[in-house]
Structure 1
Amino acid sequence: MSSTTAPAFIQTSLDDLDETLQQTTFTVVDLETTGGRAGTDAITEFGAVRVRGGVVLGEFQSLVDPGIGISPFVSVLTGITDSMVIGAPPAGEVLLSFLEFARGSTLVAHNAPFDVGFLRAAADAGQIPWPAFPVLDTAVLARRVLTRDEVPNCKLSTLAAYFHATTTPVHRALADARATVDVLHGLIARLGNIGVQTLPDLKAFTSKVSDAQRRKRHLADGLPTSPGVYIFRDERGEPLYVGTSRNIRSRVRQYFLASETRSRMGEMVGLAARVDPVECSHPLEAQVRELRLIAAHKPRYNRRSKFPERQVWLKLTEEAYPRLSIVREVSDDNARYLGPLRTQRQAEAIRDAIHDAVPLRQCSDRLSLRRRVRAACTLAGIGRCCAPCEGEVSPAGYAELADLVALAWSGDARPLIEPLQLKVEQLSTAQRYEHAGVVRDRMAIVVRACARMQRIGSLTRIEQLVAAAPDGSGGWELCVVSHGRLTAAGVAVRGRSPWEVIEALLTNAEAVRPGPGPLPAALAEETECVLRWLEQPLTRLVQTSQAWSHPAFGAGSLTLAGYANEGQANDRRRREMDPFADRRRLPLLSRPAR
C-alpha cells in the first residue's frame, strides 16, 4: 500500500503580497528652478531616471521656458541662462510628458517636498490632475540609515561621494537624478540587512515610529471604520489618551504604521494594552464625546480640554454697590458673570479695561445703603471711582453703572467700548502711544470676550433645538441640543424619512436640568463645538423652542479693524517722531588714550 504526502498549505500575510523593492519601479526625479518658492518661482529643467531592480529603464530630460527671467545667481549655480530656455516648451507641456514617463511608479527625489511641490504647482497652474504617486525621499531615508560618523550631512553631493556614485551632482536635473539613483541603491543595500524588503517596509522604516509602536499594531485589529472616539488604555484599564476620527480603525493604525512624530505618543503607545472604540452617529457626536471623556478622566497624554475647571470668570457681585471679582466657579447667587475666560491674566486685563471705562469701586469692603465712610481712597481723588463710600453717587446712579457693564456682557457693548475708544484717541493726540496701545489691547480683549459670551449665550438660552446637515451621501446628520448641550444624535440614511429619526431622537434625548450662569448644561468647548456645526453653510434648523438670535449691537457687530488701524497709525506716528532730527553732527574734539 503506497502512501503519498499531502502538500503543505501556508497562509501568507498581507505583507507577503507586496512587491519587493527589487520588483518596484522607481522614477527618480530632479528639477532646476528659478528660486525656492513653488507657485511663485518656476521650473527651468526636468530630469528623471526610471529604474527597476538596479536596471535603468529610461531617462527623461527637458529644458522648460519658465515665463520669467532667470536671476544671475541661479544662472551661475545651474548654468541655465535665459537664452538656453528661449523656445523651450512650457512647464505644462513637459509635465504631461513626464507624468506619462512616470506612470505606475514610485517617485523618488532628494528633498522630495521641494520637487513634488513644484510639480504639483505646475499641475495646478495647467489644470492637470495630479496622480496619487507614492513618494520616497532619499534625504529622509539617509538620515534614518546613516550616522554622523559616516557622513557629516545628508546633502546629495555628500551622499553621492559616500556611495561612489558614477555621476557627480552639478545642479543640472538629469545629472542630479542619476546621482540620486546611485544613492537610492546604496541606501536600499544597507536596508536589506535589517529585513526591509518591500515598499511598505521602507515607508514604515522612514517614519519616526519606534519598534515598540510597530509591535502594537495588532491593537487596531477589529476596530470599526465608522466615526467615533478611541481610548488607549494601559494594563490596568486606565485611559492613557482619548482621540476622535471619522474612521476609527484608520486613525488608530497611524499610531503604529504611519509617521507619528510626537515623542509622547510613542511613549503612550508603548504603555497601551488595548484600544476601546466608541462608535458615534457622526463627527459632531464624536467630538462632543471626546471632550466629555477628556474632562472626566483627564488622560495623562491629552493636553487639550483637560482641565475645564481651571477657567475663570469675571463676576459682577450681587450687593448694594456691585464690584468686579475674579472667581473660579459660577454660583447660584443672582450675580452676573462674564466668561469663561481662559487665564487669570485675561480676566485681569478685562477687569482693568472696564475700570478704565466705568468708575466702579475697586475696593473689597462690604458697603451697605446705610453705611458711609468719610475717607475715600486715592482712586476717588483721580476720578477712577465714583466713591459710593462717601455718598458721592446715589444707589440708583451706581446701579446704572453696573447695569451698563452687565448690558455689555449680554447685549449692547457700545456704551462700554466708546469711552475706551475715546481714551485711545486722547492718548494718541497727546502722543502717549505706549499707554494708548495698552488701552487699545485691553479694549480688544473686552470685545472678544463679550462676543464669545454672547455667541454662547444665544444657544444656551434655547431649551431645545433640532438641526440637520447633509452627510454627503444623500442622508442627514441630525442632532438635538438643549441649553447648549448635545442630548441626542443620529443619522437618517438616504431613502429613510428624517422625521422618523427625529421623533426617535426627541423621545430618547437626554433630560437636561439647567444650572446657574451662562453655561447651564455643558462646558464652553462643547457648546462652541455645537455652534461651529450649526453655523456650517448647509446646516438647517428643523425645530427650536426659542428664537436663535444675537443682539443687534452686541460685541460681535463691533469690528476690531478700526481699533487695529488706529493702533497702527499710532505706531507709525511714534516712529516718525525723531527727537534728534535737528541734531547736528558733533566734531570729535579728543580721543581717549589707549
Structure 2
Amino acid sequence: MSTTGVPMWDDQLPLSSLGRPLADLTFTVVDLETTGGSAAKGAMITEIGAVQVRGGEVLGEFATLVDPCGPIPPFIARLTGIDDAMVDGAPRIESVLPAFLEFAAGTVLVAHNAPFDVGFLKHFAQEQGREWPGFEVVDTVTVARRVVTRDEAPNCKLETLAKLFSASTTPVHRALDDARATVDVLHALIGRLGGQGVQTLEELRSWSGQVSDAQRRKRNLADGLPTGPGVYVFEDAAGLPLYVGTSRNVRKRVQTYFTASESRSRMRDMVALAERVRAIECATPLEAAVRELRLIAAHKPRFNRRSRTAEKTVFVKVTDEAWPRLSIVRSTTENDVVLGAFPRRSAAESFVETLHETFTLRQCGGRMPAKGTGSSCALADLGRCSAPCVGGVTREEYFLTLDALRASAHSSPGPVLASLSERMAVRAEQERYEEAADLRDRAVRFARATARHQRLRAFTAVAALVASRREDDGHWSVHVFAHGRLTAAGVIPPRADAWEYVRVLKAGAETVVPTSGPLPAATSEESELALRWLEQDGVRLVEVEGAWASPYPGAGSHLSVWQPAAQARDAAVIPSEQGLTGRPRRR
C-alpha cells in the first residue's frame, strides 16, 4: 500500500511488529475558533471545523458555528470575521459537542497546538457531564518543532507551515479552512517522519524519547566537566563552536544532551557533529550568562538562535541639521539618541511614527537651509508637520518642540501617552473599539520601550558600580560594572574580609574605555542582563561612582497605569513560541 507523502509499508511483516501504520489510521483534524484563550476563565467556542482523513484521502468534514451565549469581543470578531450576527441562531455547544464526538469517534484526534483545542473540548464535555472518549492525540506543532528547522521557517505557526508546505488551503482564522490547512501540514510531516524511520503511531509516540546513536557514542564528552556555574561550548572537529550554552552546573547540563530528555532535532544534529565540549568556569551565574552572550556574538555558532545579531540593533537619533529630524541608524557615536536600542528596524519605525504623531518635526529627508524655501507637503496639510520648509514655524518654536520630544524620551513620556490616551477615548466614544484597542497597545509598547531606554541610559552612564547579594547557598556574590558592562565577578570566601575582597576584585577588574554614544561599553542585551540581576531582591550597592537614578516622572511610573491594560489583554491569549502573540488563540 502506498499513499502520497507516505513510504511503502512492508506487507510481509506482521501488524504486531509494525504497530499501527500511520497510513492506515483514520485521523480527525480539528480546529476551533473561540472568544478567548481559556475556557476555564469563561472563553467560549464560536466555531468548530474538522476534516476526517485516512491514507491521504478525505473521508468527511464537520463544520458549524456555535452560539457562545454572549457577545464576541470586537478584536476577536475582527480577527476571525465571526461576529454576533453570524452566531445568532447557531446551535449551542450543548448540541454541537455530542455531534462532533460522534463524528470523531474511533479516530486519532489531530490539532495544531492540540492542548488548546482539546482543552476546550474536554472542558465543555466535563461541564455537560459527558465522559471524554480518551482520544489518542497528535499535535502537529510538537511534531513540526522536531522536523522543521529554523532555516526553513522562523516558527511553527500554522500560517508559516502552510506556506512552507504549499498547503492547498490558506488558514484564515476560520475553523474549517484552518483544519483543511492542518491536514496538508499533517501529510507533509508524515512524509518527513517516514524518511526518519517513523511509520507507526507507536513509533511516533516513542520517537521523542529515542536516543540517537550519536548521543550514545558521545556521552563521554561530559566527563570531567566542572560541576559549578559556567559556559560550555560544543566544538566540531576543526575546533569551531557549534553551540554555546550556560548552566549553574555545567556537567549536569551537558549530560542531558546525550539523553532522551533532549528532544530538539537541531540539538541532535549538533551532537552528531560535535567532537568535544569546552567549559569555561565562572564565579557566578551572572558572569556565565554574560560570557555566553559575548561568545555567541563573537562566533555566531550555527546552532544558537538568540544573541547572534547584536549588530542589527538600531537606534533613533536627532540629526545635526539646521532643522533636525529623527533618523534610524545602525550605529552612532553621538549621545543625542532619542530611543534605543531596538532589535529590529520595524520596531524603531513604529516608535518614530508614534513620536511624529505628537511632535510635528519634519519627516522629509535631506538637509534644509536655515531659512525654509519651497512648497509644503501632504503631511503639513494634514497638520502632522510644522512645515519649516515654507516658514510654517520659527526656529525657536521648532527647537522648543524638539526639546519637548527629547524630554519625553529621556525623562517623561507623558505628552505622547496623553495624546494616545485622548485619541483612544475618542475612538471608544465613537464605538470604534478596535482602533481604541490598537492605540492602547501602542501606548503600552511605547511606555515599555521608553522605560527600557531610560533604565539603560541611567545605568550605562555610571562609571563604576559594585553590588553584592547573598545567594541561595548563603555566600555573597559580588559584581563590578562599568558603563553597563560586567568587568569582574566573584564570591566572598567564608570568614574572609569582605571589604578587602572587594578591593582586590576591583583592582583586577577589566579596564573599560567607554565610547561615546548610547551604549558606551556593552551590548544592550548584556546591560539588560546586568540590570535584571541588580533589580533582584536582596541586592546591596557597595560602591557607586557618580549618580545612578531614573527620572521621577519617567516611563516606569506610567507603566503602572498602562500595564494592567496589557495584562488584561494577555489573559485572553495563549503563549506562542517566542512569548505572547498579542492575538487571541493563534498558535
Normalized against structure 2, the TM-score is what? 0.61
Q: Distance in 2 between matches of 1:385 and 1:311?
A: 28
1:357–1:417 contact (8 Å) kept in structure 2: no
Whether 2:480 is the aligned partner of 1:480: answer yes
Q: Distance in 2 between matches of 1:442 and 1:77?
A: 44
Identity rate, percent: 45
Q: Distance in 2 between matches of 1:72 and 1:215?
A: 53
* CA offset digits 1:359-380 (Å, max 9, x no partner): 11111131121x3214111111
Paired residue for 2:166? Answer: none
Paired residue for 1:501? Answer: 501
Q: In the alignment, which of 268, 271, 274 is matched to residue 273 of structure 2?
A: 271
* CA offset digits 1:249-279 (Å, max 9, x no partner): 1111111134101100001011011111000
1:335 maps to a residue whose letter is D
1:225–1:247 contact (8 Å) kept in structure 2: yes
SS at match of 2:422: helix
Paired residue for 1:259? Answer: 261
Report 1:170-569 matches (<5 A): 207-332=209-334, 334-369=335-370, 371-559=371-559, 561-562=561-562, 565=565
1:208–1:259 contact (8 Å) kept in structure 2: no
1:282–1:491 contact (8 Å) kept in structure 2: yes
SS at match of 2:286: helix
SS at match of 2:242: strand
* CA offset digits 1:142-188 (Å, max 9, x no partner): x9xx976697998xxxxxxxxxxxxxxxxxxxxxxxxxxxxxxxxxx
Task: Compute the displacement of 1:489 (Å).
Answer: 0.6
2:343 maps to a residue whose letter is R
> Quick one: structure 1 residues 568 and 368, their matched pair in 2 at CA, closer, same or farther if it must change by over 3 Å?
farther
Q: Distance in 2 between matches of 1:261 and 1:467?
A: 39
SS at match of 1:276: strand
Runs (5+) with no aligned partner, structure 1: 1-36, 39-69, 79-109, 112-142, 155-202, 570-594
Structure with more relative contact order (C-alpha pairs < 8 Å, separation 6 or more): 2
Report 1:84-95 matches (<5 A): none
Q: Distance in 2 between matches of 1:513 and 1:337?
A: 23
2:528 maps to a residue whose letter is E
SS at match of 1:558: helix
> Quick one: structure 1 residues 510 and 378, their matched pair in 2 at CA, closer, same or farther if it must change by over 3 Å?
same
1:381 maps to a residue whose letter is D
1:478–1:490 contact (8 Å) kept in structure 2: yes
Task: Compute the displacement of 1:562 (Å).
Answer: 4.8
* CA offset digits 1:182-217 (Å, max 9, x no partner): xxxxxxxxxxxxxxxxxxxxx9x9833211111101
* CA offset digits 1:4-57 (Å, max 9, x no partner): xxxxxxxxxxxxxxxxxxxxxxxxxxxxxxxxx99xxxxxxxxxxxxxxxxxxx
1:468–1:539 contact (8 Å) kept in structure 2: yes
Q: Distance in 2 between matches of 1:515 and 1:152?
A: 57
1:474–1:494 contact (8 Å) kept in structure 2: no
* CA offset digits 1:432-456 (Å, max 9, x no partner): 4444344333322221111111111
Q: Distance in 1 between matches of 2:202 and 2:330?
A: 56
Paired residue for 2:7? Answer: none
> Quick one: structure 1 residues 76 and 527, their matched pair in 2 at CA, closer, same or farther if it must change by over 3 Å?
closer
2:284 maps to a residue whose letter is H
Q: Distance in 2 between matches of 1:457 and 1:208?
A: 48
**Which structure has the bigger radius of gyration?**
1
Q: Distance in 2 between matches of 1:566 and 1:349?
A: 18
2:443–2:562 contact (8 Å) kept in structure 1: no
How many pairs align?
387
Normalized against structure 1, the TM-score is what? 0.61
* CA offset digits 1:45-89 (Å, max 9, x no partner): xxxxxxxxxxxxxxxxxxxxxxxxx988468989xxxxxxxxxxx
2:222 maps to a residue whose letter is A
2:444–2:559 contact (8 Å) kept in structure 1: no
Q: Distance in 2 between matches of 1:249 and 1:470?
A: 24
Q: Distance in 1 between matches of 2:389 and 2:345?
A: 28
1:326 maps to a residue whose letter is I
SS at match of 1:531: helix
* CA offset digits 1:383-427 (Å, max 9, x no partner): 111111111211111111111111121112112321222222223
Q: Distance in 1 between matches of 2:379 and 2:319?
A: 20
Runs (5+) with no aligned partner, structure 2: 1-38, 41-125, 138-192, 570-587
* CA offset digits 1:86-124 (Å, max 9, x no partner): xxxxxxxxxxxxxxxxxxxxxxxx99xxxxxxxxxxxxx
Q: Distance in 1 between matches of 2:203 and 2:280?
A: 49
1:437–1:567 contact (8 Å) kept in structure 2: no
RMSD between aligned alpha carbons? 3.1
Stretch moving more, 487-496 or 265-274 = 487-496
1:346 maps to a residue whose letter is A
1:337–1:518 contact (8 Å) kept in structure 2: no
1:366 maps to a residue whose letter is R
